[in-house]
């Protein structure tokens, strides 16, 4: 069983609480379609609730020089479903946030989670910020 499979199982067994990695209730499970394969995938991702109908997440890939595969999938197929700790299963549309709005969200998130700033320091790419809007 992969690390992601273990986290998904823990999320579902504990109604959205994940103690592995200290995530608590800040993970969502993103159901997305593989851009190249067409296969449905489920990826646990750190997310913060922006408002009642929006979740925000970042595509850090731990500071790697390339974007994570799940981001390529969301760009190709932005209408996805997420599982959340508080709202259950929610259909959403992914939107990449850019410009001053991205910078403001990024600044807020890095204050809450300083590790994000460390990831940005490891790479020359601007780490994407993604909003998931309830459909």
CATH code of the domain containing 130: 2.30.110.10
Residues 6+ apart with CB under 8 A from 121: 63
Burial degree of 126 (CB within 10 A; 0-12, 13-18, 19+): exposed
In this prediction, residue 107 carries a pLDDT of: 96
Q: How far apart are CA 19 and CA 109, in angstroms?
A: 20
**Per-residue CA distances from 88 to 17, 28, 82 (Å):** 12, 10, 8
Give residue 42's pLDDT.
97
The domain of 67 spans: 3-134
pLDDT in tens, the chain (135 residues): 888 999 999 999 999 999 988 889 999 999 999 999 999 999 999 999 999 999 999 999 999 999 999 999 999 999 999 999 999 999 999 999 999 999 999 999 999 899 999 999 999 999 999 999 999
Model confidence, pTM: 0.94
> What is the number of alpha carbons within 13 Å of residue 56 lying toward its C-beta?
19
Total domains present in the chain: 1
Give the model's pLDDT for residue 22: 83
pLDDT at 117: 94
**CB 62, CB 123: distance < 8 Å:** no
pLDDT at 21: 83
Residues 6 or more apart in contact with residue 65 via CB below 8 angstroms? 123, 124, 125
Model pLDDT, residue 1: 81
With b meaning 16 or more CB within 10 Å and e meaning fewer, what string describes 74-103?
beeebebbbbbbeeeebebebeebeeeebe
């Amino acid at each position: 069983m992969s690390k992601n499979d273990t986290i998904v199982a823990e999320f579902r067994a504990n109604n959205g609480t994940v103690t592995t990695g200290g995530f608590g209730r800040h993970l969502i499970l993103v159901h997305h379609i593989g851009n190249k394969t067409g296969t449905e995938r489920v990826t646990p991702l750190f997310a913060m609730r922006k408002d009642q109908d929006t979740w925000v997440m970042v595509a850090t890939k731990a500071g790697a020089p390339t974007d994570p595969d799940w981001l390529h999938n969301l760009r190709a197929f932005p209408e996805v479903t997420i599982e959340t700790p508080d709202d259950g299963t929610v259909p959403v549309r992914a939107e990449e946030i850019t410009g001053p709005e991205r910078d403001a969200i990024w600044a807020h998130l890095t204050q809450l989670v300083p590790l994000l700033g460390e990831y940005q320091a490891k790479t020359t790419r601007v780490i994407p910020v993604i909003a998931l809007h309830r459909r």
